[in-house]
Amino acid sequence: MEFKEHEFFDYYQRTLKKYNQAQAGTTDLALAVIGHTHAAKLVKRPKNDDPNDHIFLMDCGSWVNGGHEFGVISGPEMAVCQWG
Q: How confident is the model at residue 42 (pLDDT cuts 50, 70, 90)?
A: confident
CB 73 within 8 A of CB 53: no
CA distance 69 to 65: 11
**pLDDT over 70 percentage in the chain:** 90
Of 27 and 72, which is predicted with more confidence? 72
Question: Across the beta sheet with 31-34, what order do the strands follow?
Answer: 31-34, 50-59, 41-47
pLDDT at position 24 over 50: yes
Residue environment code for 27-45, b if the CB has 16+ CB neighbours within 10 A, otherwise e: eeeeebeebebeebbebee
User: What is the pTM assigned to this prediction?
Assistant: 0.70
